[in-house]
Amino acid sequence: MQDRYAYYPGCLASLSQKELDSSTRAIAKKLEIELVEMPSVTCCGAGDIHEAKPDYYLHISARILGQAEQMGCDTILTICNVCTLNLRQANKALQEDKAVLARVNDNLMQVGAATYQGGVDIRHLLWEVSAGEGYDRFKSIAVKSLEGLKVAPFYGCQILRPAKILGFEDSDRPQSLERLITACGAEPIDYPAKVKCCGFPIVLAREDVALGELVQPLQQAKEAGADVIVTPCPLCHLSLDAWQRKASAFAGNDFQIPILHLAQLLGAAAGISESELKFKRHVTRLTPEVKGKLKLPSVVGIEA
Amino acid sequence: MTEIKNAHFTTLKGAYDTEKMDATLRVRRYDPETKKSRFDTFTVTIPVTASVLDALDAIKDIHDGSLSYRKSCRMAVCGSCGMRVDGGAALACKTPMKKFVDAGHTITVSPMGNLPVIKDLVVDMAPFWQKIRAVKPYLDTLDVDVPAKEWRVAPEDGDLIHKESLCILCGCCVSECNSMESDPEFLGPAALAKAYRFIGDSRDKDTRERLRDLNGAHGIWDCTRCYFCNQRCPKHVDPRDAIAKLGAESFKEGFTRDEGAKHAKVFVDSTYKGGYLRETELVPKTIGPINAIKDIPFALQLARAGKIPNPLSPHKAKDNDEVKRLWKLLEKEAKGQPRRATAKHPDAVQGD
Ligand code: SF4
Ligand code: SF4
Ligand code: SF4
Ligand code: SF4
Ligand code: FES
């Protein structure tokens, strides 16, 4: 863990998933890390620009990486699986081929954008707090034990695979979320679909195929007795949370299982208030029972 | 412990002198006559250099001759021995046993997923071949004077389809394909990688026809980007990357009517217009205004939770003119280039 990161929340956390951005900022403050804003970055393209216009994707990624460099940061902190994979994929392509990097920089220069020298790493919040010094820092601020809360970890694909680009842990048997859930005093629940896809990338274009994927983690986590599911990805969150009613109808089973962003779970254990964790921005609401287990400090007069 | 009398160990010069180890395997059995499945556990003594396939051979020779699995080359070339090792598809002949034995771990061997099981570890590959056939896996040569002796391909053109040409048709990528679990008709990673191998071939003339076929139901836009195929492929074909390349080729050729393509286009346009994604446009532009209206109750649910940002004030990144100029520059550059041997695709990175 470092003391200073270029902070790339991505579009979802900046728009529909604002609760993730606010929880991340709150937990960063507790962890005493500085998040440096990147005011002129674009969307990373969520794999869609990568697919439709690969050359454009490479350039906008280089522009994002170049901005971090110019701010004097050698690491970008991400809070989204999809951003993490897309930026790391582009970074690999740019770092491994000097001719490609030179051409991209030439074009960036022509349009007056920041160029990229190749010296930036992209790290997801999950990786930074689940191991090494970051884990110790988190342990020291996790003052509230969320004892009795059963948490089903849902990794999502693009923080695990392809391992040659992500490579933080064994992609078939990851343990980072379990480690953090345990550090929060809660109990991790195991189920096979925790490493599978939630279907989000195709939920608009191929809803039935996507729902067939989405019901698996919901069903299995529920059957294993989980109170909540936690995920490091705002796209997975949107799918598991906002599409949950559709998944319930599809499966003929009313799941009603609240979905937490990783930063919200960590935040609850660190005693951060509901006004910053903003659970009210979820479509599937927290039940009073779960609220109790999360030990949320109720702040009188503040709408969370 | 039973001593190995397996012929292929004895024929290897000095094989009997190599150090041995005891390995335990849990093997999934399926009997097509009784339609019952079970797990059997076997312990065999094998050379320290043995693969999972060698261990299965030892089991078959010594313990149970009825154990069924496919094999041929024993050197990761024929693509016969795909099976799941601890739940993940792999070539049995390319997976060494030693690391498991050293860790004191009993591996579980089971048949590949997404294909019907015939007996024990043998799956029915018919649906796999049917999908490969569906993408017309052969060259339809351009209407030019084909050189009499050999038709040379420029190295840069060859590079474009190098990775996809490495496929040995083993099926490991298909085994854990999440979209195929949900839609068994999905063409899937192996067939789509094969499709790209011909679409990207500078001698083939059917580019547009091929792309048109792949842009419909069960085609490229079914892929949920779970990346299991890239993770499992023993030959580093990276089928998901081939699918991304097919998406890019579809855009180049103007096939943008599939919902999946429209979805991708919203992202492209949003960086260009505002920096961050214009989520308010994602739903109507992907599934069309009529379907979006049908989904009004759903939209209201999202709106109540603050998930639909105000369309009147879309997020705008600072200095976004840079991005606009960049877009124009690249579009101009792309127009001046021949369709093939263009700038290297970012996923064409070799040698991993
Ligand atoms: S997650 Fe999303 S939507 Fe977001 S920045 Fe990355 S791609 Fe853009
Ligand atoms: S689970 Fe789905 S949305 Fe979440 S990261 Fe994987 S592909 Fe993306
Ligand atoms: S990335 Fe696409 S093709 Fe590959 S396994 Fe996942 S869904 Fe299937
Ligand atoms: S793409 Fe890879 S995993 Fe899939 S069939 Fe070909 S060699 Fe096997
Ligand atoms: S036996 Fe041929 S690939 Fe394994």
Question: What tens digit of pLDDT does each residue of A159-181 get?
Answer: 999 999 999 999 999 999 999 99
Interface membership of B306 toward A (CB under 8 Å)? yes
Contact A161 B222 (CB under 8 A): no
Least confident of A99-108, A176-185, A203-212, B248-257: B248-257
In chain A, which residues have their Cβ closer than 8 Å to the Cβ of B286? 204-205
Contact B87 A172 (CB under 8 A): yes
Cβ atoms within 10 Å of B210's Cβ, excluding its own: 21
Q: In the prediction, which pLDDT does B339 show? A: 55
Q: In the prediction, which pLDDT does B312 show? A: 46
Least confident of A266-270, B75-79, B306-310: B306-310
Q: Is the dihedral of CA B247, B253, B255, B256 positive or negative?
A: positive
Residues 6+ positions from B87 with CB-CB distance below 8 Å: A172, B108, B110
Contact A42 B276 (CB under 8 A): yes
Percent of chain B whose predicted confidence (pLDDT) is above 70 = 78
Q: Using one digit for the tens of pLDDT, what is the confidence trace for A188-212?
A: 999 999 999 999 989 888 999 999 9
Residue B90 lies in a domain: yes
- Calculate how close chain A gets to B344, using CA atoms only, in Å: 8
Q: Using one digit for the tens of pLDDT, what is the confidence trace for B276-287?
A: 665 555 555 555
Q: Are B306 and A281 in contact (CB under 8 A)?
A: yes
Report how far Cα B71 is from the mean position of its chain's Cα atoms: 21
Same domain, B141 and B101: no
Interface-testing mutation among B224, B266, B322, B327, with chain A (most A C-beta atoms within 10 A) = B224
| Residue A199, Ramachandran bin (φ over 0: left; ψ between -120 and 50: alpha; else beta) | left
**Tokens matching residue A29:** 């403050």
Q: Say which of A164, A197, A202 has its CB closest to residue B222.
A: A202
Q: In which band, very low, low, confident or very high, does the pLDDT at A22 lie, cut at 50, 70 and 90?
A: very high
Q: In the prediction, which pLDDT does A303 show? A: 44
Ligand 3 neighbourhood includes B179 CB (under 6 angstroms): yes
Q: Please give the average per-residue pLDDT across A135-150, as a whole number.
A: 96
Q: Are B184 and A208 in contact (CB under 8 A)?
A: no
Q: In the prediction, which pLDDT does A47 show? A: 76
Q: In the prediction, which pLDDT does A93 show? A: 94
Q: In the prediction, which pLDDT does B281 show? A: 57
Residue B347 lies in a domain: no
In chain B, which residues have their Cβ closer than 8 Å to the Cβ of A11? 276-277, 279, 315
Whether residue B274 is predicted with pLDDT greater than 70 in this model: the reply is no
Q: In which band, very low, low, confident or very high, does the pLDDT at B349 lie, cut at 50, 70 and 90?
A: very low
Q: Which of B214, B229, B191, B226 is nearest to B260 (CA)?
A: B214
Q: In which band, very low, low, confident or very high, does the pLDDT at B291 lie, cut at 50, 70 and 90?
A: low
**pTM for this predicted structure:** 0.88
Residue B101 lies in a domain: yes
Whether residue B198 is predicted with pLDDT greater than 80 in this model: the reply is yes
**Tokens matching residue A107:** 């074009």
Ligand 3 neighbourhood includes B239 CB (under 6 angstroms): yes
Q: Distance from the CA of A289 to the center of ligand 2, in angstroms?
A: 28
* Summary mean pLDDT of chain A: 93
Whether residue B344 is predicted with pLDDT greater than 50 in this model: the reply is no
Interface membership of B129 toward A (CB under 8 Å)? no
Same domain, B138 and B241: yes
Contact B326 A108 (CB under 8 A): yes
Q: How far apart are CA A74 and CA B116, in angstroms?
A: 49
Interface membership of B108 toward A (CB under 8 Å)? no
Q: How far apart are CA B160 and CA B154, in angstroms?
A: 10
Q: Please give the average per-residue pLDDT across B285-309, as a whole number.
A: 63
**Which one of B89, B123, B157 terminates a domain?**
B123
Q: How far apart are CA B172 and CA B183, in angstroms?
A: 18
Residue B332 lies in a domain: no
Torsion, Cα A135 A139 A142 A146, to 10 degrees, reads 90
Whether residue B150 is predicted with pLDDT greater than 90 in this model: the reply is no
Same domain, B113 and B42: yes
Same domain, B154 and B267: no
Residue B103 lies in a domain: yes
Q: How far apart are CA A59 and CA A158, in angstroms?
A: 21
- The ipTM (two decimal places) reads 0.90
**Which one of B123, B154, B183 terminates a domain?**
B123
Whether residue A298 is predicted with pLDDT greater than 70 in this model: the reply is no
**Which one of B200, B232, B255 terminates a domain?**
B255
Burial track A198-226 (b if 16+ CB lie within 10 A, e otherwise):
bbbbbbbbbbebbbbbbbbbbbbbbeeeb
Q: In the prediction, which pLDDT does B311 show? A: 47
In chain B, which residues have their Cβ closer than 8 Å to the Cβ of A103? 343
Q: Using one digit for the tens of pLDDT, what is the confidence trace for B10-27?
A: 444 555 568 999 999 999
Percent of chain B whose predicted confidence (pLDDT) is above 90 = 62
Q: Please give the average per-residue pLDDT across B83-108, as a whole number.
A: 98
CATH number at residue B231: 1.10.1060.10
Q: Which of B106, B105, B103 is nearest to B41 (CA)?
A: B106
Residue B46 lies in a domain: yes
Which domains, ranges and CATH numbers included, belong to chain A? 4-125 (1.20.1050.140), 143-293 (3.40.50.11810)
Contact B183 A51 (CB under 8 A): no
A window 68-127, beta carbon within 8 A of B: 89-90, 92-93, 96-97, 100, 103, 107-108, 110-113
Q: Are B263 and A204 in contact (CB under 8 A)?
A: yes
Tell me B141's DSSP state.
B
Interface-testing mutation among B84, B95, B160, B178, with chain A (most A C-beta atoms within 10 A) = B178
Same domain, B272 and B251: no
Q: Are B129 and B100 in contact (CB under 8 A)?
A: no
Q: Please give the average per-residue pLDDT across B200-204, as a whole number.
A: 93
Q: In the prediction, which pLDDT does A205 show? A: 85
Same domain, B108 and B165: no
Q: Which of B226, B183, B113 is nearest to A155 (CA)?
A: B226
Percent of chain A whose predicted confidence (pLDDT) is above 90 = 86
Q: How many domains does chain B have?
A: 3
Q: Please give the average per-residue pLDDT across B257-264, as a whole number.
A: 75
Indicate the helix (H) or strand (E) that contains B127.
helix B126-134
Q: Please give the average per-residue pLDDT across B62-69, as a whole number.
A: 97
Q: Please give the average per-residue pLDDT across B127-151, as a whole number.
A: 92
Q: In the prediction, which pLDDT does A226 show? A: 98
Least confident of A22-26, A195-199, B37-41, B149-153: B149-153
Q: How far apart are CA B242 and CA B88, in angstroms?
A: 21
Interface membership of B326 toward A (CB under 8 Å)? yes
Q: Are A57 and A45 in contact (CB under 8 A)?
A: yes
Higher pLDDT, B347 or B248: B248
**Tokens matching residue A121:** 């790493």
Residue B334 lies in a domain: no
Domain that holds residue B32: 7-123
Q: Which of B252, B235, B143 is nearest to B194 (CA)?
A: B235
Coil/strand/helix, residue B47: strand
Q: In the prediction, which pLDDT does A12 show? A: 82
Residue B343 lies in a domain: no
Contact B227 A201 (CB under 8 A): no
Contact B327 A103 (CB under 8 A): no
Same domain, B44 and B134: no
Least confident of A188-192, B36-40, B159-163, B249-253: B249-253
Q: Using one digit for the tens of pLDDT, what is the confidence trace for B48-65?
A: 999 999 999 999 999 999
CATH number at residue B100: 3.10.20.30
